[in-house]
Every structure is written in structure tokens, then in C-alpha cells.
Structure 1
Amino acid sequence: MRNDIERVLIDEAVIERRLDSMAVEIERDFPDGTLVVIILLKGALVFAADLLRRVPRPLEIECLNVSSYEGLESSGQVNFLDRHFPDVKDRHVLLLDDILDTGRTLHAVSERLYQEGAAVVHTGVLLAKDKHRAEEVEADYVGFEIGDEFVVGYGLDYKGRYRNLPYVGVLKLEAAN
């Protein structure tokens, strides 16, 4: 797998330090009480697990399976793949995703959470691409700003591979073929 990586963009130690800081920000920003955390599967699973172990408060953790990518590109649509939607009525919600790219996923899921009655929805992402977005959305908590490159590792994949890498790396174009 390492041969498929053009370069390591963010190494494991840097990610760990940033997660410590993000946890402090989250703890500071949310009021007392239980926080409902919605993890977008599968990409945010590794990031969310490592981040949430650092948040010293009661958490209810839910997962949503959504899809918006086909290969290297966004499909332009967000598909909710689960029949069950978490109960968020009158609750404070933290929505976690792996990467903010076009903005469609965070926008669609945030809107749905508000439609379901969430009192407050904050969003957090491991990575935010520095690019024009199809939807006007920014994350409340961002691990790292990156360029417009196709990255894998630390939960991010290409065709189901590379999620288990302990770092974020840029995928070689020839590995994507």
C-alpha cells in the first residue's frame, strides 16, 4: 500500500496533536449535558473514534451511512443509505465527517438533522479542501486545511482501500487506475 502513496501529507503524530486541540474546542463550545454525535460512515469512523475518546463528557454516538462519491469524484448527490435516522429532536448534535470537499454531504445531512428537530448542529471534519464548494458550508471544527488533492488514509479510502493507514497521504494517480 505504501507504494501507492505519492507522499505523506499529514503524519500520525501531527494528527494526534490536532485531535487533542479539537477535543478541547468541542468541550468548550457545547453546553453541559449529553451531546449526540453523528458519525458519517465509513470515512469518519477512524477520525471520530480517536477524537471522541478525548472528549470528557457524556456522549450518545450514532452512525449514518451516506454516499456521495464515485471513484475520485463527487457524484453530485448525497444518498442516505440507512432506513433508521437517529432521534435528535431538541438535542445538541455534533456531526463528524472525514472531509469537506464539495460541501454537499455536510449541507444535506445538516439540513436533515434540523428537519428532524435538532436544536443545534455543529460540524467537524478531519480535512477541509481549500476550494470553491458546490454548497455554501463550512465546518465548525476543522482538523486540517488541505489543497485540492485526492487523499487516503486515516479513514479515507479509494474503492474501500487505504482506510487503515495511520496517516493522510496523497494517492498516486496510477494507483487509482
Structure 2
Amino acid sequence: MIKVEKEQFKPIFSKAIIEKRVNELANDINIKFANENPIFIGVLNGSFIFLSDLLRRLEIDCEVDFIKVASYKGILSTGKIKTNDEIIRNLENRHLIIVEDIIDTGRTVQYLLKYFKRMNPSTITIMTLLHKPKSLKIKLNIDYIGFEISPDFVVGYGLDYNQKFRNLDSIYYLRELAK
């Protein structure tokens, strides 16, 4: 358990469980994208650990880029999407794999789909480590999901609480909010 001020975080996924699932996802990508040279687009900041672990397990040729997108303030989704990065490379007729740390309301992915579709990629694949189906506000087709979780707030393995705890090798959920 991790305690931050008056809030407690309990473990939900251990390092071993995460590693096993990342291996399974990498195997699926190796099969589906053999001979395709996809471009992975990591959504910063949260996806960087997941994406780096995934990439080390891939046996296919691929490229990597990043886009910085934010919709959270503290533990709450603001509902407003902000980005400060521009993808410069040519994505036309390429296979894109957007890699998220977590899909909560779905608004960030919806924004990214619109953003990347104007660049005319051949395909856009959505991959997320965590998915909160009960929090989803829009209909999305998510191609690869690491784990489905409850609407609880989570930290670790790239996910943060006010920019802290990204470095944890396990994932924890918020047990109780300060009163």
C-alpha cells in the first residue's frame, strides 16, 4: 500500500502480471503487423513505460513517435483535451498504433483519431494498458486492451498522481479519498 497525504493506494496489478500481459500484447502485434513496419505513437506522459516495455518485446520492424496530450488535473478528468506537440513525419498510407496508458472517458482517443485521420494513414490501431469501460462517455473501438478496471483512480507504471509515482513497477488504485 502507498499512502499520500490522506489518500491510500492499494496494489491492483503486480510487476509480474503486467509483464505477462505486455508479452501477450507484443505477441499479438508481432503476428498482426509482421512485414508492416507500423509507427507507434505514444501518448505522453503516461504511456512511456508501457510503450518502452512493449517495444523491447517486439520482433517486427517499427518506428516510434510521441504526442503530448493531457486531460487530467490531479485525480479528475477535466474533459478538455490539450496537446502541445505536432507530429511532423509523413503518416500517409502508414499503419499507426496509438498507445495509451489508460482510456477513461474516451475523449482523448476520440481527439487523437480525428487528429491522425487527417494525415491519411492506412490504418489506425488503438492500444491501451488500462481501460475503464464504466467511465467511457463515447463509443470507441479499442483494438488492444491490457486490463479492464473499475473507475477508480490508478497510479504506477507510468500513471501519475500530480506527476508522482510514474516510476512504480506495479499499478495501484486509490482506496479512499481524503474527507
TM range (shorter): over 0.9
Matching residue of 1:78 = 81
Choose the corresponding residue for 1:156, options 145, 159, 166: 159
Q: CA deviation at 1:172?
A: 4.5
Identity, % of aligned positions: 33
- The amino acid of 1:169's aligned partner reads Y
Matching residue of 1:124 = 127
Q: CA deviation at 1:128?
A: 0.4
Distance 1:103 1:88, change over 3 A: same
Structure 2 unmatched ranges of 5 or more: none
Alignment check: 8 A CA contact 2:130 2:149 kept: yes
Choose the corresponding residue for 2:28, options 25, 29, 32: 25
Q: CA deviation at 1:33?
A: 2.9
Q: CA deviation at 1:138?
A: 3.4
User: Mean Cα displacement is larger for which, 115-124 or 73-82?
Assistant: 73-82
Return the alpha-carbon distance in structure 2 between the equivalents of residues 64 and 10 of structure 1: 26
Matching residue of 1:3 = 3
Return the alpha-carbon distance in structure 2 between the equivalents of residues 74 and 16 of structure 1: 27
Structure 1 unmatched ranges of 5 or more: none
Matching residue of 2:147 = 144
Alignment RMSD: 1.8
Q: CA deviation at 1:6?
A: 2.8
Q: TM-score, normalised by structure 2?
A: 0.91
User: Mean Cα displacement is larger for which, 18-27 or 1-10?
Assistant: 1-10
Q: TM-score, normalised by structure 1?
A: 0.92
- Tell me the number of residue pairs that the alignment of Structure 1 and Structure 2 aligns: 176
- The amino acid of 1:151's aligned partner reads V
Return the alpha-carbon distance in structure 2 between the equivalents of residues 36 and 6 of structure 1: 34
Q: Does 1:62 align with 2:61?
A: no
